[in-house]
Chain A
Amino acid sequence: MTSYGLKQRLSSVAVYIFLGVMAFLSIFPFLWMIIGATNTTSDIIKGKMSFGEALVVNATTFFTQVDAPLIFWNSAKITIIATVLTLLISSLAGYGFEIFASRFREKLYTLMLLTLMIPFAALMIPLFMLMKQFGLINTHLAVVLPTVASAFIIFYFRQSTKAFPHELRDAARVDGLKEWQIFFLIYMPVMRSTYAAAFIIVFMTAWNSYLWPLIVLQSNDMKTITLVISSLGSAYYPDYGAVMIGTVLATIPTLFVFFAMQRQFVEGMLGSVK
Chain B
Amino acid sequence: MSDVTLRDVRKSFGVVEIIKGVDLDIKSGEFVVFVGPSGCGKSTLLRMIAGLETITAGELDIGGNRMNEVDPSQRGIAMVFQSYALYPHMTVRENMGFALRFAGLPKAEIRKQVDEAARILELEPLMDRKPKALSGGQRQRVAIGRAIVRHPKVFLFDEPLSNLDAELRVHMRIEIAKLHRDLGATIIYVTHDQVEAMTLADKIVVLRSGIVEQVGAPLELYDNPANLFVAGFIGSPKMNFLKGVVEGGGAGRADIRLPDFGGAVVPVALKGEAPAAGAPVTLGIRPSQFTESGDAALPVTVDMMEHLGAETLIYARSSASDLVTIASQSRPDIRLGDTLTARFPSSGALLFGADGKRIY
Contacts and interface: CB of A to CB of B under 8 A. Distances in A.
Interface in A151-177: 165, 167-168, 170-177
Interface stretch (B71-79, B193-201, B264-272): B71-79
A190 interface: yes
Interface stretch (B62-70, B80-88, B289-297): B80-88
Contacts of A52: none
Contact of A174 (B79, B86, B89): B79
A255 B86 CA distance: 35
Interface residues of A, number: 17
B77 A174 contact: yes
A170 B83 CA distance: 11
B87 A190 contact: yes
Contacts of A176: 71-74, 99, 102-103
A173 B52 contact: yes
Contacts of A186: 87
B98 interface: yes
Nearest to B75: A174
Contacts of B88: 190, 273-274
A264 to B, nearest CB: 13
Contact of B81 (A167, A189, A190): A167
B98 A189 contact: no
A196 to B, nearest CB: 14
A170 B89 contact: no
A168 B85 contact: yes
B103 A174 contact: no
B50 interface: yes
Contacts of A189: 87, 89
A159 to B, nearest CB: 20
A171 B74 CA distance: 13
B307 interface: no
B151 interface: no
Interface in A126-180: 165, 167-168, 170-177
A168 B73 contact: no
Given A174-B72, A176-B99, A176-B103, A165 B89 contact: no
Nearest to B103: A176
Interface string B92-103: 000000110011
Contacts of B47: 170
A175 B50 contact: no
Interface in B40-63: 47, 50-52
Contact of A167 (B85, B102, B146): B85
Contact of A173 (B73, B86, B98): B73
B83 A165 contact: yes
B83 A177 contact: no
A165 B87 contact: no
Given A186-B87, A189-B89, A190-B88, A171 B102 contact: no
B171 interface: no
Nearest to B53: A170
Interface in A164-220: 165, 167-168, 170-177, 186, 189-190, 192
A274 B132 CA distance: 8
Interface in B280-305: none
Given A170-B52, A170-B79, A274-B132, A175 B89 contact: no
Nearest to B14: A103
A211 to B, nearest CB: 39
B154 to A, nearest CB: 12
- Among B82, B85, B98, max chain A CB count under 10 A is at B85
Contacts of A192: 89
A175 B98 contact: yes
A183 to B, nearest CB: 14
Interface of A: 165, 167-168, 170-177, 186, 189-190, 192, 273-274
24 contacts: A165-B85, A167-B81, A167-B82, A168-B87, A170-B79, A171-B79, A171-B85, A171-B87, A173-B52, A173-B71, A173-B72, A174-B79, A175-B99, A175-B102, A176-B72, A176-B73, A186-B87, A189-B89, A190-B88, A190-B89, A192-B89, A273-B88, A274-B88, A274-B132
Q: Which 8 residue pairs of A and B lie closest in terms of their CB atoms, listed nearest first?
A: A176-B73, A171-B85, A167-B85, A175-B99, A189-B89, A167-B81, A174-B72, A176-B102
